Amino acid sequence: MTNTSSAPLLRIENLRAAYGKIEALKGVDLAIGSGEIVALIGANGAGKSTLMMSIFGKPRAKAGRIVFDGVDITATPTHQIARMSIAQSPEGRRIFPRMSVAENLQMGADAGHGSDDERAATLERVLTLFPRLRARFSQRGGTLSGGEQQMLAIGRALMSRPRLLLLDEPSLGLAPLITRQIFEAIRTLNRQDGLTVLIVEQNANHALKLAHRGYVLVNGLITMSGSGADLLARPEVRAAYLEGGRKV
């Protein structure tokens, strides 16, 4: 489900961001249409996670613009961005280990809007996508396996009923079977619910097969873009990110 005829749901223009004197993003341009899955690939240290975090205002952009659904959110406080139908499943999962699965999911619901009936329907949707969370519903998050914690992190983000989901390294450290289950859930959410997704993924092969379009980030700059299939077929992409066992 891809809508490229209207204005992009997310538009990033000449974005610059830094940590102290180290400039991590050096003028990034990127756009995501409503209903698209867009992959961002690149080597470690290229600035991928910085770009994801900059959308939420940490670090704050030094220059450029971030526009979501026609609204400039470049200077919007993080807590307000979290209530604008944008949700993030961060690198490292960052669940609340002492809270139960149910309580973690409730934290996600509290960040969004909706009636009690809508929240209940969203919870059922999450538990249907990730049956392991239903089986572990009263279990503490810190006792879950790595794959279950990743499912919980994504489920928590989904509980806010976002229009845009930011996924940062969802397959990192996971077994291939769990990775396939998570990517299939993302595909289902996009096809059935029209969810728009920006995914940063160390496994470029998985990411580009899933994505409608992709961008390659090198040293804080976008160097290539195209459809997922187009990028997979480019010799320079294959040499840098796919061949010789490299999946970054």
pTM over 0.75: yes
Inform me whether the pLDDT recorded for 3 exceeds 70.
no
- Three-state DSSP class for residue 179: helix
Element spanning 108, H or E: helix 101-110
The pLDDT of residue 4 is: 44
The pLDDT of residue 196 is: 97
Is 237 in the same domain as 195? Answer: yes
Of 135, 162, 189, the domain-final residue: 162
Is 125 in the same domain as 246? Answer: no
The pLDDT of residue 213 is: 96
The pLDDT of residue 66 is: 97
Residue 121 has φ and ψ, to the nearest 5°, of -65, -40
Of 125, 146, 162, the domain-final residue: 162
Range of the domain at 128: 94-162
Count of domains for the chain? 2
The pLDDT of residue 57 is: 87
What are 201's two structure tokens? 């993924």
Is 175 in the same domain as 66? Answer: yes
Using alpha carbons, select from 16, 15, 3, 34 the residue that is nearest to residue 197. Answer: 34
Of 162, 187, 208, the domain-final residue: 162
pLDDT tens digit string along 111-154? 767 778 888 999 999 999 999 999 999 999 999 999 899 999 99
Is 18 in the same domain as 139? Answer: no
pLDDT tens digit string along 98-107? 999 999 999 8
* CA atoms of 105 and 123, how far apart (whole Å): 8
The burial of 238, by beta-carbon neighbours within 10 Å (0-12 exposed, 13-18 middle, 19 or more buried), is given as middle
Inform me whether the pLDDT recorded for 58 exceeds 90.
no
Is 178 in the same domain as 235? Answer: yes
The pLDDT of residue 2 is: 47
